[in-house]
Structure 1
Amino acid sequence: MENNIKRIFVALVVMAISSIGVIFQSCEEYPDEYEITGGVPTVDYIRVSDPEKSDSLIASASLNQTIVLIGENLTSIKEMWFNDKEAYLNTSFITYNTLFVTIPNEIPDVVSDKIYMVAGKDTVSYDFNVVVPAPAPKSMLCEFVADGEEAVIYGNYFINDPNVPLQVFFPGELEGEVVSVSDDYDEVVVKVPSGASVGQVTVKTIYGSARSSFFFRDDRNYILDWDNLDASGGWRSGVIANSDPVGINGNYVRFYGEMPGKAGDLWDEDKFAFNLWNQSNGRADVPFYDGDLSAAALKFEVNIPESWSSAALQMIFTPYSVSGNNEYVANDDATKTYLSKDFPRGLWMPWVSSGSYMTDGWTTVTVPLSEFVYDKDGKASEATLTTDMLGGLTFFVYHGGVDGSDCTVHMCIDNIRIVPL
């Protein structure tokens, strides 16, 4: 009997020890299910998150970068702040000695160059510099704005520090008057200075300066400007206008007429198309662009003063050999010479997301050439855009495979060009 009691006691002790081991193992695998109490967190150093660079110790990092804190009692941390911005803590990535965290992608309002770790009643700080990138101007609402008028620039990190105000310089090193900066630091409104010329725009903040990839009043590589370069020689050279609305810089082409909402119900080439065939236009057998097509875009300015809610602006490049025949526009008959599937096209339908679209004056449109991948119905084309196809250009308004609502299309287009992104 006594031996049996001893055996039972030993078994209970073994079971208890095993249970403790399971508990500690569980704590290691699921650190969010427990907390080490009574321990003030300490940080020995900080490293990058890439395991292949774990020996790279850092004292600063950029917004939205993931870093690793190495120290002790890190599971006791319940809040972490970089300057005055709180970081999200995922307890699945926190152990007693390590803590993975992503720096908030927010510009600090108060810069202390410290990390604050809140653990119960204790708050521990650690010196660390969060690097805010230099401004990044990416695009303009319209690249053609007159002197004295307001231009809108989009991008990131437009910090207008009260002690070091944001500045915008136009070509000619002429500084514009900053009117406003958005709360999200992604938009700046600026008056164009007198005498501004063609070229890149520079934005300067307390964190540095950067020059835009886009060109203000871009004059590079025009295909059509309707003043010196037109689509004459095609079956439809486009309806040319220069008023109602006022043009950007002279003439433009206008598409105008009634458009049904149901896809494919109407096709009126005279109102909604132009065909530029370089051979018929008297141009040389040279492609519009011979750079990297994957890093280039078709750009143009539009003014759409009435609500547009059906059909697509279809854009299709054609080889120099295509002239006097527009079967590529909408004919899929395999017996024809030029098939729409042979020439992938771009489709611009900004009304689809909200149901309608119009502009407040002239607006720059950018369509990367990498997006010329459709057929007339908005389906994937079987072909790929290549340089030898850049010998002609047709614009036309046609359904694009999406039903909309009946509307009047009033679309003005100018300064068609291919430029690097």
Structure 2
Amino acid sequence: MTGFNRRQILAGGAAAGAAIIAPSGRARAQARDQVIRIGVLADFSGPYRSTSGPTSLAAAQQAVEDLGLAQRGIRVEVMQGDHQNRPDAALALARRWIDQDGVDMICEVNNSAIALAVANLVKEKDRIQLASGAATSALTGAQCSTHTMQWTYDTWMFSNVVGGASVRAGGDTWFMITADYAFGHQLERDVGQFVQRAGGRVLGSARYPFPGTADFSSFLLQAQASRAKVVGLAMAAADMVNCVKQAHEFGLTRRGAQLAGMIMFVQDIKAIGLEAAQGMLLSEVYYHDLNDRTRGLGQRILRRTPDNMPGQEHAGTYSCCIHYLKAVAEIGAARAKASGIEVINVMKRMPTDDDAFGPGRVREDGRKIHPAYLFEVKKPSESSGAWDFYKLRATVPAEEAFRPLNEGGCPLVRG
């Protein structure tokens, strides 16, 4: 792959691309207008920093370097912004990026409320959002937009793979432990539908107060009493880590139950540890040790963030930047900066192919599709070293992994 000269890679807020100093104010303005700017809007300081933040920035920088557009005369800058998990702060930053800094595409956006808000802004401004971190399936459903694509995963996909594929693998009775708010309720409903559709049964559920629950023992007792083969965890982040650790201490899995995490990342497994997480079922669309292409990509990004192996969210940011920049290269930087919708149309027309997900495509509702995988967490004795966490249990083909086009209610879908 073609790389950048080191002097072309800018650290921090403007990270990747050539910065050419022009001799006059007018020439500087013209040069600035021709630079393609990508804004990585992510959690750089909060609870999702490891699954988002610096490694997503590194993934975007790696995409620019791998594609080598600087040597084709297309200058690219990658900017970073901390959304602080606040829609108001994120929207203000995104607006300033577009209005004052000339940002053409915003990616990552690992907060569904923020992604929905930014979708309206980029449509108004004829810019682009590639939501590689947001999970709500509304982005390609009733609230789909002409200027937003959802790149990596969504709640429908997680529920489909973890629920349906787990039943087909033998886990046909379930009990759910669910965060008692809209996010958890939606996951519980979705998983229940896929479990039943695959021929399984949900024997019951327990909803814990969110936020503020530190002790999951009473909910784990209810799960044990149900005698379900699978205990589904409709939660995320610190709650997931705490619940899995307590389930291990409680001996739930030693008594025959298998834990299934609805939304999990390799960073969660690292925080839990293989001793407690072993045997868990989960879904990811990328794993660094899946094949030769993912291994190569993982190592390239890891060199930039040596303390954090890239996970599926980071891979999504890499993938969306690669495809966006391929479209920019096809029509040229000037046309790409003049019209976001023209770039979107090219991206939907072109097939996708990258080291994160392999071949795929973008549907008319903005949903990027690729295979999804059901993984089981390895025992400590099965792991060969750091970040060697998963063994593959099932592969769900791209056309089956995501919600069918005609079921989402997206107004962009014809017929």
TM-score norm. by structure 1 comes to: 0.28
Greater strand fraction, Structure 1 or Structure 2:
1
Greater helix fraction, Structure 1 or Structure 2:
2
The higher radius of gyration belongs to 1
